[in-house]
Amino acid sequence: MDKKKQVRVLVADDSALMRILINDIINTDPDIHVVGQANNGKTAYLLTQELKPDVVLMDVNMGEYDGIYGVVKIMEHCPTPVIILSSIGNVDMNPILQALELGAIDYLNKPAKNRVNMDEVKQDLIEKIKIASTVEVKELLDKPVSVNIHEHSFDNKTSYDCIVLGASTGGPRAIERILTQLPKNLTIPVVIAQHMPASFVFAFANRLNQLTPLEVSVAKQGSRLEAGNIYLAPGDLNLTIERKHKNYVFGVTEQRFLAYNNPSIDALMISVAASYKEKAIGVVLTGMGKDGAIGLKAMRDTGSYTIAQSAASCIVYGMPKAAVENEAVEQVVHLDEIAAFLVSCLA
């Protein structure tokens, strides 16, 4: 790849040593190079305006002008794909979730035990930079949506008994947008498999629980699904749903899946196809890879209604594309319309 086509990266970190280490990692790949470095969020924003990098790597804790400041300013004045690269996620996921809500497209934890041992994340970092460089952030910037606090007039018996969502890169933003638009008297459970580290899932559930009047929690093996509740799959196992008499309960499978594990969207959706048959709705959201394509196809084959997020509204149109190509999708829907579309399916 010639120099002009290299992915141009700006590195923002208050540690000079960390900037050197990140620079060294990036320089191992001929398709990427560092065009500038910043030691706080304000300098990162100013350099983004000046240098127009393809991707910004942003730390969170950087003194007065932190990474959150940098994300806000960049998205307001010079929209650019931002990846949060910080050790704060090892102890507190909330700042990272805030950055994602404000426009950052992805995140990666620095190693918790040894900050200089960055080789642990080398492969993931390079992959995320290359994916981020393909994202048109300007196309994804949207106006804030107020939380739906209203009830909806549902029939006594709806056509579906469960909604299952699968997401990866860009998923937290997409999931927030969908859940906050669902009516507070939703009559069926929603189960979500979001690719993220196990330590992040509980913080994400807590955040969602504060954003919506619906009850959001992390699914527990053996517990029963309750109408109107939202459940997140744990990040350290492959969650399933089993039918026991008239109830549906959460289970776990030891089976490994080619596309992704812990949590596997395919594992969850295949189990939903077997337990709910035609009485479920499956949705594959933004994310890289192919997880969900097999599971959503299983749902469609058993009569469930299947949806994929539209390419124009995805951070990464990988998983929805794979589902469409696998003939698993009945309807493609823009992110901003998914919640209303789901309600219309139930009404």
Strand partners, 57: 11, 83
Q: Is the peptide bond before 263 cis (omega within 30 degrees of 0)?
A: yes
φ/ψ region of 222 (left if φ > 0, alpha if ψ in -120 to 50, else beta) reads left
pLDDT for the residue 144: 57
- Is residue 33 part of the annotated active site? The answer reads no
What's the chain's average pLDDT?
91
| Mean pLDDT of the region 116-143 | 83
pLDDT for the residue 93: 84
- Please tell me the distance from the alpha carbon of residue 84 to that of residue 57, in angstroms, as a whole number: 6
168, 271, 275, 310: the catalytic one is: 168
Task: Give all domains of the chain, ordered by start, each with its CATH number.
Answer: 3-140 (3.40.50.2300), 162-346 (3.40.50.180)
DSSP letter string, 47-107: HHHHH--SEEEE-S--TTS-HHHHHHHHHHHS---EEEEESGGGT--HHHHHHHHHT--EE
Three-state secondary-structure class, residue 269: helix
Tens of pLDDT, residues 276-294:
999 999 999 999 999 999 9
- Please tell me the distance from the alpha carbon of residue 44 to that of residue 77, in angstroms, as a whole number: 12
- Is residue 161 part of the annotated active site? The answer reads no
Strand partners, 280: 162
- 106-109 and 162-167: which strand pairing? unpaired
Q: Residue 51 — very low, low, confident or very high, per pLDDT cuts 50/70/90?
A: very high
Q: Residue 160 — very low, low, confident or very high, per pLDDT cuts 50/70/90?
A: very high
Q: Residue 49 — very low, low, confident or very high, per pLDDT cuts 50/70/90?
A: very high
271, 291, 310, 313: the catalytic one is: 291
Tokens, residue 181: 């638009």
14, 54, 161, 195: the catalytic one is: 195
- Is residue 291 part of the annotated active site? The answer reads yes
On the question of pLDDT at 76 being above 90, the answer is yes
Strand partners, 166: 193, 284
Residue 6, classified by CB atoms within 10 Å of its CB into exposed (0-12), middle (13-18) or buried (19+), is middle
The share of the chain scoring above pLDDT 90, in percent, equals 78
Tens of pLDDT, residues 205-257:
999 999 999 999 999 999 999 999 999 999 999 999 999 988 999 999 999 99
Q: Residue 3 — very low, low, confident or very high, per pLDDT cuts 50/70/90?
A: very low
On the question of pLDDT at 116 being above 60, the answer is no
Q: Where are the beta strands (DSSP E) in the chain?
A: 7-12, 32-38, 55-58, 82-86, 106-109, 162-167, 190-194, 215-218, 229-232, 238-244, 247-253, 280-284, 305-309, 331-333
Q: Residue 332 — very low, low, confident or very high, per pLDDT cuts 50/70/90?
A: very high
Q: Residue 158 — very low, low, confident or very high, per pLDDT cuts 50/70/90?
A: confident
Report yes or no: 181 and 216 within 8 Å, Cβ to Cβ.
no
pLDDT for the residue 1: 44
- Please tell me the distance from the alpha carbon of residue 98 to that of residue 115, in angstroms, as a whole number: 23
Report yes or no: 104 and 71 within 8 Å, Cβ to Cβ.
yes
Tokens, residue 278: 């035609």
The share of the chain scoring above pLDDT 70, in percent, equals 91
* pTM of the complete model beyond 0.75: yes
pLDDT for the residue 154: 58
